[in-house]
Structure 1
Amino acid sequence: MEALALRLSGLDPYVGGAIRIVAFYDTLMRRRVDLAALARASAGLAECVTGIRLHGTGRVVRASPLGTEATGPAAAGEEGEASTAVPVTLDEEEIGVVWLERSGPPNPLDEVLLDRLALAVAAAVERYGPARTTMADPALVELAVGTGTDEAARARALRLLGFAAGAPLHVAAVRSAVPLDRVGALVCPGGLVKAAVLAGPGGGTGVLLATAMDRAAFPEGVRAGLADSAGTEPLDAAWRRARTALRFATDREPVAVHAELGALALLAEVPEAAARANPDVTALSRFAAGASPEDLETLDAYCATGSLRRAADLLHLHHSSVSRRLDHLSRSLALDLTTPTGLTRARLALTTWRLIEDTA
């Protein structure tokens, strides 16, 4: 390569210089250097301050030609400060930017240098794992959680998302009126979290993949189903559990955890035709079609508490008012809600009805 560069430089100094730059970065990439080393080497080669910024964390690395950390304000993103800048892309997604800070006009080879530096930065990010971000490429997330994904491809997708191979992950299926990146930042403020919206009925389902997840931090206006992956099973199994849990989320309990559903999760496996044909579900469907919101709220509160007085407290009503509503519900559903068997049937019918009416 050096001999070729010398011969070409005699014919065209620009071509010879470009080849030398390519060889320079090829050597750095073979040595698997990190971002700080790339910035130092590039600053020495360019003989000016060189910078690297990763969008996900806002991390900035700036080095001077002397190999030390550059002082003063970072130039990336400050119009007019960077003499030349080039975006860093990985799998067709812009993940950062690299730039030079020359005091004079750009060097003819500056773009070649930055192109190679951007490639080296992308390689380093992929090798060491990207810095923490929120929104991710939906295609990459779908590859990570998809049922038909080859496990080697799944592992690579997770690595590109920043997760270590085989590491335990928390998975959330989300329906939200709140921007998904905000939800991710709230429920996983101190760890790596990736979010994307996958296409589907009702506008799609949000996905959160995170190293930690605070179920109490989901904001109002969000329904979520949570599941964990121990890292010893394909991630698509955890994603299926998260979507199942999401179907059990309600306005009263907007966050459902699959591990806490227990035997209730079996209801999600009942074929829709069989569920609709069940007499209790059929009765509830007919009743719900003409019921007032107060009636359904009363049934929900009573099924959740199993107690007339606790339901009254939950509804902020006198227990006699709730008693009258329950009498009406019992007649409409042909169930004695005051008996353990009647209450159990009502709970199962209400849950099953919600599952078959779910369109997400």
Structure 2
Amino acid sequence: MEALVVRLSQLDSEAEGAIRVVMFYDTLIRRRVDLAALARASAGLAECVAGIRLDGTGQTFRVAPDGPAPSAGRASTTVAITLDDEQIGAVWLERPSPLPLDRLLLDRLAIAAAAVVERYGPARTTMADPALVELAISPGTDDAARARALRLLGFATEAPVRVVAVRSPLPLDQLGALVCPARPVKAAPLGEVGVLLLTAVDASRFPPDVRAGIGSPGPLPRSWLSARTALRFTTSRQPVVDYRSLGALALLAHVPGDAARDNTDVAALAGLGADDHRVRAFFQRSRRDHPREGARSDRVGTVGWPCSPTPGRIP
């Protein structure tokens, strides 16, 4: 590399400077420096104030070449820190006007900062490797492999992780941040369904255009199965369903469609049609006399039983 620098210096002084910047940060990464040391080294190299900020933890390092930076300052160039294709913070320089190599310096600083975050603890990102999430929730995974997958995802061994199955127009990382802003959450797409792994969930935080099935607490494979079941019961009127609220209705999700269609009572009810006055009268009485059961009966049509005047089935 040194020979390349010497050769480039004879051809292009800016190219030589670029190579030296790359070598500088490669050396820092090999030495496994922390974020504070990265900020100090960058300020010395750039000969101006340098800063590093992590969004997830709120950590900020802002350093001048000769020590702590003054309180006031404006970034002349800023670059995002990304990890697993998700922005987790930013790095910047503060000088009157940008210099030609500032962008390259910050690009390398952002890469080094991401490496530090990944090395010294679970990454504070939402998106996760789908294969790792699938390993954590699959019923075929043994306990040791599941525990290791959860550790790699950033969850403590004893953490009560739950699964939420979603269909969302929002990107999963944004949805995870909305639903669980202050606690660990991981998200990944599995087929046509999005998966959220989290330790606590507030159903009221889901946006209205998101369908979500909240799995039951307990072993992750069971939570994943119950989350998918709950997702099938969601409707436009009730886009978020907690599996525990379904009660015995959850059993309907396991009735084969052919068996339901072949049942004479179901066939007779289907023949009436959703607009039949007898069907409407039945549901009106059900809601009036048994509000809880009436609300549950509205969900029956979502799993293929044509019992609701406003079915919202999700295939």
Counterpart of 2:180 in structure 1 is 188
- Alignment pair present for 1:285 and 2:270: yes
Q: 1:49 to 1:297 in 2, by over 3 A?
A: farther
Whole-Å separation in 2 of the counterparts to 1:54 and 1:264: 45
Q: Alignment partner for residue 200 of structure 2, among 205, 212, 218?
A: 212
Which residue is 1:113 aligned to? 105
Cα distance, 1:229–1:50 mapped onto 2, change above 3 Å:
farther
SS at match of 2:304: helix
Distance 1:229 1:180, change over 3 A: same
The verdict on how the C-alpha distance between 1:113 and 1:216 changes in structure 2, with shifts beyond 3 A counting, is closer
- What does residue 299 of structure 1 align with? 283
Q: Which residue of 1 aligns with 2:302?
A: 354
Q: Take 1:199 and 1:37, find their aligned partners in 2: how far apart are those partners?
A: 42
1:310 Cα deviation after fit: 4.4
Change (3 A) 1:172 1:101: same
Deviations 1:325-355 (A, max 9, x none): xxxxxxxxxxxxxxxxxxxxx96xx765431
CA distance 1:37–1:248, shift in 2 (3 Å): same
1:101 aligns with 2:56: no
How far apart are residue 35 of structure 1 and its match? 2.9
Pairing 1:1-360 to 2, within 5 Å after superposition: 4=3, 11=10, 17-54=17-54, 60-75=60-75, 81-82=76-77, 85-103=78-96, 106=99, 108-127=100-119, 128-131=121-124, 136=127, 140=128, 142-146=130-134, 159=152, 163-164=154-155, 166=157, 167-175=159-167, 184-185=176-177, 187-194=179-186, 200=192, 205-218=193-206, 223-227=211-215, 233=220, 238-250=223-235, 254-259=239-244, 261=246, 264-291=249-276, 295-296=279-280, 298-299=282-283, 302=286, 309-311=289-291, 353-356=301-304, 358-360=313-315
- Which protein is bigger by CA-based radius of gyration? 1
How far did residue 38 of structure 1 move? Answer: 1.8
User: How far apart are the structure 2 equivalents of 1:287 and 1:20?
Assistant: 79
Does the CA-based 8 Å contact 1:18-1:112 persist in structure 2? yes
Indicate the residue corresponding to 1:321 in structure 2. Answer: none
Q: Could you give the per-residue CA deviations for residues 61-102 of structure 1, whole angstroms, max 9, x where no partner exists?
A: 422212425522452xxxxx33xx444343445544433222
- What corresponds to 2:310 in structure 1? none
SS at match of 1:213: coil
SS at match of 1:173: strand
Contact 2:84-2:125 at 8 Å conserved across structures: no
Would the alpha carbon gap of residues 37 and 69 (structure 1) be closer, same or farther in structure 2, given more than 3 Å must change? farther
Identical-residue share of aligned pairs (%): 47
Aligned counterparts of 1:187 and 1:300: Cα–Cα separation in 2: 34
Report the secondary structure of 1:256's partner residue. strand
Map of 1:323 onto structure 2: none
Output the CA distance in 2 between the equivalents of 1:254 and 1:19. Answer: 54
Aligned AA for 2:202? D
Moved more, 258-267 or 268-277: 258-267
- Separation (CA, whole Å) in 1 of partners of 2:162 and 2:281: 32
1:341: which partner in 2?
none
TM-aligned CA distance change 1:199 to 1:55, over 3 Å: farther
Matches of 2:10 and 2:86 in 1, distance apart? 38
1:143 shift after superposition: 3.8
1:78 aligned partner: none
Q: Aligned equivalents of 2:41 and 2:214: distance in 1?
A: 45
Root mean square deviation of aligned Cα = 4.6
Counterpart CA distance in 2 for 1:214 and 1:7 is: 60
Give secondary structure in 1 for the equivalent of 2:252: helix
Q: Deviation digits for residues 175-225 of structure 1, max 9, x if unmatched?
A: 56889777645542422345677763xxxx454333321235446565421
Instruction: Report the 3-state secondary structure (helix = DSSP H, G, I; strand = E; otherwise coil) of the residue aligned with 1:249.
Output: coil
Superposed CA deviations along residues 110-153 of structure 1, whole A, max 9, x for unmatched, are 344223212112212333334466xx4xxx56445447999889
TM-score by length of 1: 0.62
In the comparison of the two structures, how many residue pairs are matched? 299
Question: Which one-letter code corresponds to 1:192 in the other structure?
Answer: P
- Greater alpha carbon shift after TM alignment, 206-215 vs 117-126: 206-215
**Residues 269-327 of structure 1 deviation map (CA, whole Å, 9 limit, x = unaligned):** 222111221223222222234435x944853772x7xxx64459x89xxxxxxxxxxxx
Say which is worse superposed, 173-182 or 209-218, in terms of deviation: 173-182
Amino acid at match of 1:359: I
Does the CA-based 8 Å contact 2:43-2:64 persist in structure 1? yes
* TM-score (norm. length: structure 2): 0.69
Letter in 2 for 1:101: E
Unaligned 5+ residue runs, structure 2?
Answer: 306-312
Cα distance change on mapping 1:284 and 1:63 into 2, 3 Å = farther
In structure 1, C-alpha distance between the alignment counterparts of 2:17 and 2:180, rounded to whole Å: 47
2:33 maps to amino acid:
V
User: 1:44–1:67: 8 Å Cα contact kept in structure 2?
Assistant: no
For structure 1, the 5+ residue unaligned runs are 76-80, 316-345
Q: Which whole-Å deviations, capped at 9, do the CAs of 1:214-249 have from their partners, x for residues lacking one? A: 23544656542112576x756xx6434312111233
CA contact (8 A) 1:246 1:256 kept: yes
Displacement after TM superposition at 1:49 (Å): 0.9
